[in-house]
Amino acid sequence: MDPFLHFLERIDVYRCSSLIKLVPSSVTFSYMTYLKVSYCNGLINLMTHSTTKSLVKLTTMKIKMCNWLEDIVNGKEDETNEISFCNLQTLELISLPRLSRFCSCPCPIKFPLLEVVVIKECPQMELFSLGVTNTTILQNVQTDEGNHWEGELNGTVKKMFDDKEGFDGLEHLFSL
């Protein structure tokens, strides 16, 4: 199966509740340009740090309605090698109630062509990544409340989370 996966250009995974792992860490996706995963409630992590290194042609990633997903890129605490999504232009993270971050390892991530980021209904997302995130041309993040930008992706996601926490606190206060 591994050689077959290597040549895939598009993956659209839909309603695979018993799927725990998208692929083993040994799989490479050198030709993949489009990845969409939705309604896969068994997933906790989408891919490993090593798998992301092969996604050099990926232009679109859409992850939606995966109730148990905690992070997109999972890695060990000591993984500090840079990840570069060279061609990623669109990233959508929608209705992921347990997602706490895009990447759980402290490695730098580069997105030189990223133009569209949508983060909606991800109430646990405190940070985009534990490492430095470089988005050369990104100018805003689309959310439930509109467009936001704090000069960089990690700061924008943190501000969105802090604002949401503050609003939730006020909402609780008024309900007393």
Per-residue pLDDT of the chain (176 residues; tens, 9 = 90+): 456 777 889 999 999 988 888 877 777 888 999 999 999 999 999 998 888 888 999 999 999 999 999 999 987 766 778 999 999 999 999 999 999 999 988 899 999 999 999 999 999 999 999 889 999 999 999 998 899 999 999 999 999 988 876 545 444 444 55
- Structure tokens of 160? 């969105």
Which residues, including other chains, have CB under 8 Å from residue 166's CB and lie 6 or more apart?
none
Angle in degrees, CA 105, 132, 117, rounded to 5? 95
Distance from C-alpha of 81 to C-alpha of 84, rounded to nearest angstrom: 10
* Confidence at residue 168, expressed as pLDDT on a 0 to 100 scale: 53
* Confidence at residue 166, expressed as pLDDT on a 0 to 100 scale: 53
Distance from C-alpha of 79 to C-alpha of 18, rounded to nearest angstrom: 28
Domain count, the chain: 1
* Confidence at residue 7, expressed as pLDDT on a 0 to 100 scale: 85
- What is the domain range of residue 86? 2-174
Of 122, 111, 108, 128, nearest to 63 by C-alpha is 122
Residue where the block lists tokens 């909606």:
120
In this structure, the number of other CB atoms found within 10 A of the CB of residue 87 comes to: 16
* Confidence at residue 172, expressed as pLDDT on a 0 to 100 scale: 44
- Structure tokens of 36? 């969409």
Of 139, 90, 129, nearest to 106 by C-alpha is 129
* Whole-prediction pTM: 0.90
